[in-house]
Chain A
Amino acid sequence: MTLNTLSRCSLAGAALAIALAGCSSVNLDDQPAAPIVDATASTGTKSGTDPRAVASVDAQAGRGLDPLNDPNNPLSKRSVFFDFDSFVVKSEYQPIVQTHGGYLGTNKQRRVTVEGHTDERGGREYNLALGQKRAEAVKQRLLLLGVAETQVETVSFGEEKPRGSGVSEDAWAQNRRADLNYR
């Protein structure tokens, strides 16, 4: 049995089932069964497709799925977190940097901005400079992985754009970070 015949039969059955459910006041004895079957069958046979079918289309399909937009791709992880007053990229974040380094290395047309951030403690301008140092630390790692200097710009937001709010180590830890922002 082909898929078409299967669905045609199912639809005919569904139509019959609805009719039999008896919501309508039409008496089946007054209406021959044949027209019901004919109407359903004609739609199916003429077009050759299932009118209820849903074709799934990927908006990015034309260009191929951008790995940057794939939540299952390791490239979706774009933040590196730091210790207090530190700009050392910790070993647990090396894989993230390596993943992006590899991607940028093979996609030379891509540009990324590394944005440094700090927690709220300390002066705003000094924190801006500290955030810059964090962004720069990530950039240097990327360059070691073969990324071109022209592909990476480093900027800092200092303490101005916190991700976590409130006065707690939890919030501060979220804010001491460098984000990779693709353009």
Chain B
Amino acid sequence: MSALFSSKRRAVCAGLVLVAFCGASTAQLRVEITGVGSQQFPIAVANFARDGQTSAEIDSIIRADLARSGLFRIVDAGSQAVSENASVNLPEWKGRGADALVVGSVARLADGRFDVRYRLLDTVKQGQLDGVSLVSTAAEQRLTAHRIADRIYEKLTGERGVFATRIAYVVQTSPKSWELHIADADGANPQAALRSREPIISPAWSPDGSRLAYVSFESGKPVVYVHSVTTGERRAVANFRGSNSAPAWSPDGRSLAVTLTREGNSQIFLMNADGSNVRRLTTSSGIDTEPAFSVDGASIYFTSDRGGGPQIYRMPVSGGAAQRVTFNGDYNISARVSPDGKQLAYIGRRSGRLQVYVLDISSGQEIAVTDTSGDESPSFAPNGRLLLYATAVGGRGILASASTDGRVRTRLSGPSGDIREPTWGPFVK
């Protein structure tokens, strides 16, 4: 269907400051939206009617998701619950300023599961845009809420939502304690996939979201592991003499590009995802690292200091001549390719500040998408709309996201440690 979210209907809302709490647990991340001048679609999400005890506040999660995307303005829907079967006065909701209305209910089934029903209503055209029933266990209710938010997002913007996806990041909880976490895209529901008394860096999701590759120093040096998320099964796939780091998955999930120093300085190698068939791709006398595959898998972007300071280059996946891609400033690192292949996100240092930049690959146009300094590790949301990155506040690492146009920035912060190395996971069925 065509997106309702056309530019003429967008309301300009300057100076929006919205704080949404993702849950009561202090271990969870707090979301702050500090976008300025963003154009937003006004939507009301009424409280869902409830039948029996439920574990998650479905309606609050939907509101927080939509607000965090930066594309929606949440219109106050009052405290009254409105079920999907209630008769609603759409012109009245339109009069309150909402162009769309979400209503629904949560009912406990005889088998203990929950039936969440919802409708998305267009107050302007006075019709239904979506209406479904989703049955889930108590533990799956957050996911159900994220899935409803994804449906709403897709109906209204025409693009796929990313609320039901997951993120991974590393948190240092004490001087001798590191954890690799997997959390919902809103930072809630964090779970430790790995705990270690040595550093962990550079997590990378396999394209199907089932595995994480990362670098662990647990054996006294950097070694690349591949870790199956659901089973916890893991194995060292690159454990050569020297340092092993910077794993990147090929789009088909069959290969890993890694940085090895077994032949001297840091150079990029390609291997099968099980660690076999290792072959060298770069042959420079300096540093070549941080490989990132292009969307078609035909080329690899990487960081190299071959021209002096670190810059981003591109080479064929078989190796060979590399072309320089970044030309502004003397320090550009950590490139990631957008899902449509048209943009490159990376960290650039300008006047001593490390910020997230986005480059339009075909035009060479570059914009700063953050106004912070000390930014690290940008990664694209799977719909390409948002970037997740780490930044430093008060000497501590926090997670943040920004729209790729830089207009909306979101801070995800948590009190439970020094957070770094975030990476946004793929769409998963």
Taking Cβ atoms with an 8 Å cutoff, the residues of A that contact B are 113, 122-126, 128-130, 132-133, 136, 153-158, 160-161, 167
Taking Cβ atoms with an 8 Å cutoff, the residues of B that contact A are 199, 201-202, 217, 220-222, 241-243, 245-246, 259, 261, 264-266, 286-287, 289-290, 303, 310, 331, 333-334, 347, 349, 354, 376-377, 395, 420-421
Q: How far is the CB of B347 from chain A (nearest CB, A)?
A: 6
| Residue contact A154 to B290, C-beta cutoff 8 Å | no
| Residue contact B201 to A156, C-beta cutoff 8 Å | no
Q: How far is the CB of B387 from chain A (nearest CB, A)?
A: 15
Q: Contacting B265 at CB < 8 Å: which of A123, A124, A129, A167? A: A129
| Residue contact A160 to B217, C-beta cutoff 8 Å | yes
| Residue contact A128 to B289, C-beta cutoff 8 Å | yes
| Residue contact A123 to B222, C-beta cutoff 8 Å | no
- B287: which A residues are within 8 A, CB to CB? 126, 129-130, 132-133
- B265: which A residues are within 8 A, CB to CB? 129, 132-133, 136
- A155: which B residues are within 8 A, CB to CB? 220-222, 242-243, 261
Closest A residue to B175 using CB positions: A165
| Residue contact B245 to A125, C-beta cutoff 8 Å | yes
Q: How far is the CB of B104 from chain A (nearest CB, A)?
A: 43
- A157: which B residues are within 8 A, CB to CB? 199, 217, 222
- B334: which A residues are within 8 A, CB to CB? 123, 125-126
Give Cα distance in the complex from A155 to B347, angstroms: 25
Q: Contacting B290 at CB < 8 Å: which of A125, A132, A133? A: A125
- B289: which A residues are within 8 A, CB to CB? 125-126, 128-129
| Residue contact B421 to A124, C-beta cutoff 8 Å | yes
Pairs across A and B, CB under 8 Å, 19 listed: A113-B221, A123-B354, A124-B376, A124-B420, A125-B202, A125-B245, A126-B287, A128-B201, A129-B259, A129-B287, A133-B287, A136-B265, A153-B242, A155-B261, A156-B261, A157-B199, A157-B217, A160-B199, A161-B199
- A123: which B residues are within 8 A, CB to CB? 290, 303, 333-334, 347, 354, 376-377
Q: Contacting B303 at CB < 8 Å: which of A126, A136, A167? A: A126
Q: How far is the CB of B327 from chain A (nearest CB, A)?
A: 18
- A125: which B residues are within 8 A, CB to CB? 201-202, 245-246, 259, 289-290, 303, 333-334
Closest A residue to B334 using CB positions: A123
Q: How far is the CB of B390 from chain A (nearest CB, A)?
A: 9
Give Cα distance in the complex from A20 to B385, angstroms: 95
> B243, B264, B334, B347 — which one has the most chain A CB atoms within 10 A of its CB?
B243
| Residue contact B354 to A160, C-beta cutoff 8 Å | no
Give Cα distance in the complex from A127 to B401, angstroms: 23
| Residue contact B420 to A132, C-beta cutoff 8 Å | no
> A122, A123, A129, A153 — which one has the most chain B CB atoms within 10 A of its CB?
A129
| Residue contact A122 to B354, C-beta cutoff 8 Å | yes
Give Cα distance in the complex from A122 to B266, angstroms: 17
Q: How far is the CB of B127 from chain A (nearest CB, A)?
A: 50
Closest B residue to A116 using CB positions: B243
Give Cα distance in the complex from A160 to B376, angstroms: 14
Give Cα distance in the complex from A128 to B220, angstroms: 14
- B290: which A residues are within 8 A, CB to CB? 123, 125-126
Known pairs A126-B289, A129-B266; A160 contacts B261 (CB<8 A): no
- A133: which B residues are within 8 A, CB to CB? 265-266, 286-287
Give Cα distance in the complex from A153 to B245, angstroms: 16
Q: 13 other contacts beyond A126-B287, A126-B310, with CB at 8 A cut-off? A: A122-B354, A123-B354, A123-B376, A123-B377, A125-B289, A128-B243, A129-B259, A129-B265, A133-B287, A153-B242, A154-B243, A155-B222, A167-B395
- B259: which A residues are within 8 A, CB to CB? 125, 128-129
Give Cα distance in the complex from A160 to B261, angstroms: 18
Give Cα distance in the complex from A136 to B310, angstroms: 18
Give Cα distance in the complex from A129 to B305, angstroms: 10
- B349: which A residues are within 8 A, CB to CB? 122
8 nearest interchain CB pairs? A129-B266, A160-B199, A155-B221, A129-B287, A123-B333, A129-B289, A156-B243, A126-B333
Give Cα distance in the complex from A130 to B199, angstroms: 17
| Residue contact A154 to B217, C-beta cutoff 8 Å | no
Give Cα distance in the complex from A154 to B261, angstroms: 8
> A124, A126, A153, A158 — which one has the most chain B CB atoms within 10 A of its CB?
A124
Give Cα distance in the complex from A167 to B393, angstroms: 13
Q: How far is the CB of A111 from chain B (nearest CB, A)?
A: 12
Give Cα distance in the complex from A36 to B28, angstroms: 78
Give Cα distance in the complex from A157 to B178, angstroms: 15
Give Cα distance in the complex from A124 to B245, angstroms: 10
Q: How far is the CB of B215 from chain A (nearest CB, A)?
A: 8
- B303: which A residues are within 8 A, CB to CB? 123, 125-126
- B331: which A residues are within 8 A, CB to CB? 122
Give Cα distance in the complex from A133 to B287, angstroms: 8
Give Cα distance in the complex from A136 to B259, angstroms: 15
Give Cα distance in the complex from A33 to B264, angstroms: 82
Q: Contacting B202 at CB < 8 Å: which of A113, A124, A167? A: A124
- A156: which B residues are within 8 A, CB to CB? 222, 243, 261
- A128: which B residues are within 8 A, CB to CB? 201, 222, 243, 245-246, 259, 266, 289
- A129: which B residues are within 8 A, CB to CB? 245, 259, 265-266, 287, 289
Q: How far is the CB of A120 from chain B (nearest CB, A)?
A: 9
- B264: which A residues are within 8 A, CB to CB? 136
Give Cα distance in the complex from A133 to B306, angstroms: 13
Give Cα distance in the complex from A129 to B309, angstroms: 13
